Amino acid sequence: MSEPRTASPGGVHAIRADITTVAADAVVNAANQHLAGGGGVDGAIHRAAGPSLMAELRERYDGCPTGGAVITGAGRLDARHVIHAVGPRWRDGEHGEPEKLRSAYRNAFALATEHGCASVTCPSISTGIYGFPIEAAAPIAIEEALSALAAPNTSLELITFVLFSEPDLAVFRRTLEARPPAS
Ligand code: APR
């Protein structure tokens, strides 16, 4: 397999694109507890990767709890791995949704570093079909990305949030600008 890749400069970035078109060592997917595929980014990733993704999920995993993540190969995607992270469904914010979202990102980035990934692309987990308000989700996503990059001995160098719409990109960019860069 290919060497870990980064596009310079490293750090945390936000771009607008279809995540299935952006090369990285690992692509994070916004999955569900059954790892059953679905609409949104999950559907797009499975369609672009091809059937090997679902076959591997079925063979290796019996679902994944909310806040967790599992890893597979990436099929036809220009990546080595897909990391299927399960974010929470938004109810009212009083049911542990922020903590579960944080945990989904943390577990996803931990798997990426366990597998020696340097570059990771990531959608905005939970802010589509699961209804998590993006203004509340973006700081959690970015904090976890900065903290993963700052961890000692991590393989991670570049985390790119790939947003599907201009308004979503604007929220991530604003949030990034309000934060100190990763040390
Ligand atoms: N590239 C990047 N982002 C995308 C793409 C894509 N190709 N398609 C959708 N998105 C964006 C959405 O606009 C949203 O901002 O991904 C974000 C997450 O939305 P969802 O995919 O709806 O994920 P989520 O809210 O976590 O809901 C998960 O949806 O697809 C099902 O199986 C999945 O049941 C699970 C649920």
Q: Give the model confidence (pLDDT) of 33-57 as tens digits.
A: 999 999 999 999 999 999 999 999 9
Helix, strand, coil distribution of the chain in percent, nearest 5: 40, 15, 45
pLDDT in tens, 57-77: 999 999 999 999 999 999 999
Residue nearest atom 12 of ligand 1, based on CA coordinates: 128
Say if ligand 1 is within 6 A of residue 54 CB.
Answer: no
Print the domain residue range for 47. 9-177
Residue 171 covered by a domain: yes
Strand partners, 70: 84
Residue 4 lies in a domain: no
How far apart CA 57 and CA 23 sit, in angstroms, is: 21
Q: Which one of 42, 62, 78, 168 is the catalytic residue?
A: 42
pTM above 0.75, yes or no: yes
Q: What string of H, E and C letters represents the secondary structure of 89-139?
A: CCCCCCCCHHHHHHHHHHHHHHHHHHCCCCEEEECCCCCCCCCCCHHHHHH
Supply the CATH number for residue 58's domain. Answer: 3.40.220.10
Number of domains in the chain: 1
Mutation test residue for ligand 1: of 41, 89, 166, the one with most atoms within 8 Å of CB: 41
